Amino acid sequence: MRRKTVFAILSLLALAPIITQAAGPTAAALAFTCAGCHGTDGSSVGPSSPSIAQMDPEVFIDAMQAYKGDQSHSTIMNRIAKGYSDEQIKGMAWFFAKQKLRLQPQQHDPQLARLGAELHDKYCEKCHEDGGRPGDAGTLAGQWMPYLEYAMADYIAGKRPYPRKMQRKVDAAIKDQGDKATSALIHYYGSQH
Amino acid sequence: MSDFNRRDFIRLATGATLASSALGFPGLLLGATPKVVVIGGGVGGCTVAKYLRKLDPKLEVTLIETKKTYTSCFMSNEVLSGDRTLESLTFDYEGLKRHGVNVVIDYVSAIDPSKKLVFTAGGDQFGYDACVVSPGVDFKWETIEGYDETVAETIPHAWFAGPQTQTLRRQIESMPEGGKVIIVAPPNPFKCPPGPYERAAQIAMYCKHHKPRAKIIILDPKDRFSKQGLFRQGWSQLYGFGTENSMIEWIGAAGGGTVEAIDPSTRTLQAEIEEFQADVINIIPPQKAGKVAFASDLVDGDWCPVNKLTFESSRHPNVYVLGDASSAAKMPKSAYAASSQAKVAAAAIVARFNGIEPGEPTFVNTCYSILGEEHGISVAAVYALNRDSNTIESIKGAGGLSPMDASPEQRKREVSYAHSWFKNLIEDMMM
C-alpha cells in the first residue's frame, strides 16, 4: 500500500469517534419534542391536534414527507417537518408506532354516529380495519374530531393527497348520503374511545 | 430490570454512548439512589421532574415550589378578553406526585453548590446529586422611576398570571367607554416575546364588543417585535390598525416609546418625547433571572450561562438551569422552549448518573398568539446545537411564521391548534 493511502486511512480512523458522535439525536429525543402539541408519547388530550401514538410507521412517514415537501396542507406541520432528515423521520415513526394510544371521550351526536358506523362498514372498513382502530392505515377511531374535520375538508378540496383508493370511497360515501356523510363518519370515529 | 438492561435502555432513550471512566458517578452504579432536587414548579421544573422519573423510575426526585398550585402565563391574555377564567389556567401538583415526584411547598433561599445542599426559608435542607433550577424571571424594578412592587398592586404588570391578571381585567371592565389603556412593553430579552402584542389584541377583542371607542396604546422601547408583520396585519383586519380610527396604536423607540417614569397618582407616564395619561396602565418591566439564581451565584449579568449540551450551569457543576432564567440563545424565553430544554436536561442527567455521555440534543419551539375569536398565528422552529459556538441554532429551511395573507379558515384553525398546544403542554408537564 502506498504511504499516502495508509495515511489517509489512518486519518479517517482518527476521525471515526467524531463521526459517531455526530450521529445526531435519538428517535426518543426527537419524539419527546412533539409532546407539547401531540401529548406525552403521542396521545393528544385535544381538542384538535391529532394523536400519533401507535400510528403505522409508513403512514407516519408518508404524512411527514408530504408536509416536508409541501404536498399536504397544514397550519404548522409543513414548517416543522422540514427540520428533520429522512432518517430522523423514520426513527420518530418507529418510536410512535410502539407507544400505546390512550383515547379520551368526545362529545358526539349518537344518531349521526350510527349513520357513520354504517358508512364506515360500507366504504372505509376495508382499509381502516376494526372501525378505524390502530392498524396499517391511519388511525380514525377516537381521533380528535376537529382534526378529522380539517383533514377531510383538505382531502375534498384537493389540498391533501388521497392515499390509494380513498378518493373513490369518499366520493361514493358522499354520493350515498350527501354532505352528511363526512360529519356522520367523524361523529362515528369520535364516539369510539 | 437488571442494571445491565437498565443501562442499555437508558442508552437507547438518551442517545448516550459509553463515556470514559472519568465521567459520571461510579459510586452510584453500585446501587445508591441518585437524588435530584428541582427548584421551581413551572414548565421547566415540572417537565424535568416528570421526564427524569419517566427515563429512570429509580431516581429520587424532589420538586420545591412556593405556591400550592400552578397558574400558566401562556393563555392568560385570554382572561383579559373574558374568553377564559383564571381557574381554567390553574392546576395542582397531584399529577406530578402520581409520577413519583416528591413535591415540597417551600421557598428556596439558596443553593450551596460546594456542599450540594439546597436551603429553604422553612428551615429544611435537601442534599442532591443533581440540582435543576428553573425559577423563571424576576423584574428589574429600578428601571422605571416610580414603579415598584407596591405600585404594581394597582398598576399591574400581570406578567405572572394570578391576582394581577384579574386586577387588570377588572380595570378594563370598569374604565369608561372611550377610555384609554396603555401597555408598556419591555426591552429584549424578556419572557414571552409576542405576549405584549397579543395582550393588546385580547384587550381590543373585549373593547370591540363593550367599549368600541376605546384606545389601546403600546409604548415600546424597541423598534421591532416578535411576529410583527402578522400582528400588524391581524390588528388591521380586526381592529382597524393603520387607520385613523384604529383601536390599537403602537409607538416604538424611534417614535418616543421608551418609558422613563410614572406618576401613579395621576396615571401619567413620562416617555422619551412626551407624556401619556391613561385610564388603565399595564407596565411589563425589564427582566432578569429569578431570585434563587442570583442568591446561588448562577448568573453572569442578568441570566444564567449553561452548557447547552446538558443545560448544566457554566458556573457550578451538578447544577442545571432551564427555561426563562437560562441564557439559551437562540431559543426564545417561551413555555415550549422550557419544555424542550427540560427533556434534554433530564436525558443528560440520567446519562450522567449511568456514567455515559449525553446524547445529541434536539429542540423545538412552537408559540401561538390569539388575536381574535377566530384569528390565531404561530411561530415554530426546530433547533440543533452548534457545539463549537455553544449556540442553539434553528435548522435552516425549517420553522418560521404563519404565512401572511392566510385565509380566515387557516387563522381559525390556528386558534383551535393553540388551544391544543395549551392543553397538551400542560398535560406533558404535570399530568
pLDDT value of residue A1:
43
The model's pTM: 0.92
Question: How many other CB atoms sit within 10 Å of the CB of residue B105?
Answer: 15
- pLDDT > 60? residue A10: no
pLDDT tens figures, B204-232: 999 999 999 999 999 999 999 999 999 99
Final residue of a domain: which of B327, B359, B391? B359
- Where residue B31 falls among pLDDT bands split at 50, 70, 90? low
Phi, psi at B367, each rounded to 5°: -150, 125
pLDDT value of residue A164:
81
Contact A29 B359 (CB under 8 A): yes
Mean pLDDT of B66-82: 98
Q: How far apart are the first and last CA of chain B?
A: 25
- Where residue B256 falls among pLDDT bands split at 50, 70, 90? very high
Q: Are the beta carbons of B97 and B186 closer than 8 angstroms?
A: no
The mean of the pLDDT values for chain A is 91
- CA of B13: which chain A residue's CA is closest? A28
Q: Does some domain include residue B397?
A: no
List residues bridging with B320 in a β-sheet: B132, B312
Q: CA distances (Å), B379 to each of A9, A158, B188, in order?
A: 46, 26, 18
ipTM above 0.90 for this complex? yes
B13 lies in the same domain as B129: yes
Q: Which helix (H) or strand (E) holds A124?
A: none
B147 lies in the same domain as B223: yes
- Where residue B12 falls among pLDDT bands split at 50, 70, 90? low
pLDDT > 70: percent of chain A: 89
B269 lies in the same domain as B302: no
Instruction: Give, to the nearest 10 degrees, the angle between helix B408-430 and helix B335-353.
Output: 30
B52 lies in the same domain as B131: yes
Q: Which three cell numbers stand for residue B68?
A: 400550592
B176 lies in the same domain as B280: yes
pLDDT value of residue B384:
98
pLDDT tens figures, B103-112: 999 999 999 9
> CA–CA separation, A133 vs A6, rounded Å?
58
Q: Which helix (H) or strand (E) holds B367?
A: strand B362-372
Q: Are the beta carbons of B421 and B366 closer than 8 angstroms?
A: yes
Mean pLDDT of B42-58: 98
In chain A the domains, ranked by start, together with CATH numbers, are: 25-97 (1.10.760.10), 110-191 (1.10.760.10)
Least CB-CB distance to B414: which of A28, A75, A83?
A75
The mean of the pLDDT values for chain B is 94
Q: Which helix (H) or strand (E) holds B289?
A: strand B287-289
B32 lies in the same domain as B124: yes
Q: Does some domain include residue B372?
A: no
Least CB-CB distance to A47: which of B336, B384, B420?
B420
pLDDT value of residue B417:
98
pLDDT value of residue B15:
57
B254 lies in the same domain as B299: no
Q: Which tops the pLDDT comparison, A8 or A149?
A: A149
B230 lies in the same domain as B267: yes
Q: Does some domain include residue B429?
A: no
B157 lies in the same domain as B120: no
Identify all chain B residues contacting A25, using CB atoms and an 8 Å cutoff: 15, 359-362, 384
B181 lies in the same domain as B296: no
DSSP B384-426: EEETTTTEEEEPTTS-EEPPTT--HHHHHHHHHHHHHHHHHHH
The A residues from 96 to 135 touching B (CB cutoff 8 Å) are none
pLDDT tens figures, B230-251: 999 999 999 999 999 999 999 9
Q: Does some domain include residue B409?
A: no
pLDDT value of residue B313:
98
Q: 3-class SS at A13? A: helix
CATH of the domain at B311: 3.50.50.60
Q: CA distances (Å), B335 to each of B73, B349, B411, in order?
A: 9, 21, 22
Instruction: Give, to the nearest 10 degrees, the angle between helix A180-191 and helix A166-177.
Output: 110
Q: Does some domain include residue B40?
A: yes
- pLDDT > 70? residue B10: no
- pLDDT > 90? residue A162: yes
Q: Does some domain include residue B368?
A: no
Mean pLDDT of B282-304: 98
Q: Does some domain include residue B260?
A: yes
pLDDT value of residue A34:
98
pLDDT value of residue A25:
97
> CA–CA separation, B181 vs B202, rounded Å?
12
Q: Does some domain include residue B90?
A: no
Distance from CA of B19 to the nearest CA of A (A): 12
Least CB-CB distance to B398: which of A35, A49, A79?
A79
pLDDT value of residue B375:
98
- pLDDT > 70? residue A19: no
B253 lies in the same domain as B191: yes
- pLDDT > 60? residue B350: yes
Q: Which three cell numbers stand for residue A101?
A: 394510544
- pLDDT > 50? residue A150: yes
Residue found under cell 439559551: B328
Final residue of a domain: which of B344, B359, B374? B359
The A residues from 25 to 44 touching B (CB cutoff 8 Å) are 25-26, 28-30, 32-40, 44
Among the residue ranges A42-46, A98-102, B13-17, B174-178, the one predicted with the least confidence is B13-17
Identify all chain A residues contacting B395, using CB atoms and an 8 Å cutoff: 82-83
Contact A82 B399 (CB under 8 A): yes
Instruction: Domain count for chain B, please give it.
Output: 2
- pLDDT > 90? residue B178: yes
B252 lies in the same domain as B192: yes
- Where residue A23 falls among pLDDT bands split at 50, 70, 90? confident
Mean pLDDT of B352-378: 97
Final residue of a domain: which of B314, B332, B359? B359
Residue found under cell 442527567: B349
- Range of B318's domain? 6-66+106-138+288-359
> CA–CA separation, B306 vs B322, rounded Å?
9
The A residues from 138 to 177 touching B (CB cutoff 8 Å) are 144, 146, 150
Identify all chain B residues contacting A35, using CB atoms and an 8 Å cutoff: 339, 424, 428
